[in-house]
Amino acid sequence: MHVLVLGAGQLARMMSLAGAPLNIEISAFDVGSKNIVHPLTQAILGHGLENAIENADVITAEFEHIPHDVLEVCERSGKFLPSTEAIKAGGDRRIEKALLDEATVKNAKYYVINSREDFTAAIEHVGLPMVLKSTLGGYDGKGQWRLKEQTNIESTWAEMSECINATDNQAIVAEEFVSFDREVSLVGARAKDGSIEVYPLAENVHTDGVLSLSTAIDDFELQEQARNMFIAVAERLNYVGVLALEFFDVQGELLVNEIAPRVHNSGHWTQQGAETCQFENHLRAVCGLPLGSTKLIRPTSMINILGEDSLPEAVMAQEGCHVHWYGKEKRAGRKMGHINVSADYTAELQRSLLLLAEVLDKKTYPAVHEFAQQMK
């Protein structure tokens, strides 16, 4: 089996690692350079998308911000999974919100802004405080503004309108500010025959809008809510592959924040903590194979390594710690790798995180230190 992945980052890399034992070969389309590259070495394997499409059995994607002309040629080949519709829903907050409403899945109250008049209407409809998000191109909290008070309306508009004018088809989605207790996400897979397997929910901590710590949790009531919403969205899209839903937990009630039509950072813990990791399950789904069990085998946390290309040796020396580097050049704030830390019991995992807080510096790993602080 040969799978072509749109996007040549760490997600394609980890798909490649998970696919090898199944004889699934991955090549990646680097959307920037338009080269076909090896997802592990980045060695150039070819030029031009047409040939790569021809040679692939299946085409999938590792991110949602893909030029529409690229999506169209892939869709036309009849090999692309999930669908163009699913990728567009993940990449455009207008389509995403409409999809959630159609699937009758709870989400934050919103209003789409294309003009100054719309902005006034949004303030009326949604109320303050609000979060304003660019509809296209947002990731890791980029392209977002917070509006708390009436006095900041004009200055916020000045910043936002620049963004609306700068890009074709760009608009802003105004969302009510949700006072959540915590953020959780559900990663799951839907196979070609419609069967669905979801992983245990992960509790996610963000630092400056970027995911920093993710831990699999065991909460029957929340899991059921999340699973039902997952099924509603996946079936509405006739989805095939791994899909992630991000939620706000507001006193035990889940609201969907956003969806990601792909393997997700908050699912990296499954590499050590679940029977079958998300990367393998994505490949199984798009290749028409049976899904693997998503059962938790060990309580696990994932720590993102942001902007650093080395770790104290004590991390790898610690029992239950697994380091995954992405082979990327060091840049401030960049996702460079992650650490999965597993244990036999939750209490043991907590002890392990406390030990990691002693060796990981506070500036780069604030979420681990906050966790340690709370435990004291």
Q: Which residues bind Mg ion (CB under 5 A)?
A: 246
Closest approach, Cβ 267 to ligand ATP, in A, equals 12
Which of 5, 108, 259, 368 is close enough to bind ligand ATP by CB under 6 A?
108
Q: Which run of H or E residues covers position 300? A: strand 300-306
Which of the residues 306 through 335 are near ligand ATP (CB under 6 A)? none
Geometric angle at alpha carbon 239, from 99 and 228, rounded to 5°: 65
DSSP state of 238: T
Closest approach, Cβ 325 to ligand ATP, in A, equals 20
User: Is 102 in contact with 236 (CB distance < 8 Å)?
Assistant: yes
Distance of CA 249 to CAs 55, 128, 226, Å? Answer: 44, 20, 10
Alpha helices (H) in the chain, listed in sequence order: 10-19, 49-55, 68-76, 84-91, 93-102, 116-126, 153-166, 220-236, 270-273, 278-286, 313-317, 346-359, 366-375
Asked whether position 125 contacts ligand ATP by CB under 6 A, the answer is no
Asked whether position 345 contacts ligand ATP by CB under 6 A, the answer is no
Asked whether position 64 contacts ligand ATP by CB under 6 A, the answer is no
Which of 178, 296, 323, 359 is close enough to bind ligand ATP by CB under 6 A?
178
* Tally of CA atoms within 13 A in the half-sphere of 238 that contains its CB: 5
Asked whether position 296 contacts ligand ATP by CB under 6 A, the answer is no
Interface map 245-284 toward ligand ATP (x if CB under 6 A): -x----------xx--------------------------
Choice between 246 and 249, CB closer to ligand ATP: 246
DSSP state of 192: T
Which of 46, 127, 141, 252 is close enough to bind ligand ATP by CB under 6 A?
141
Asked whether position 138 contacts ligand ATP by CB under 6 A, the answer is yes
125: three-class secondary structure by DSSP: helix
Where along the sequence are the contacts to ligand ATP (CB under 6 A)? 108, 131, 133, 138-142, 175, 177-178, 183, 206, 209, 211, 246, 257-258
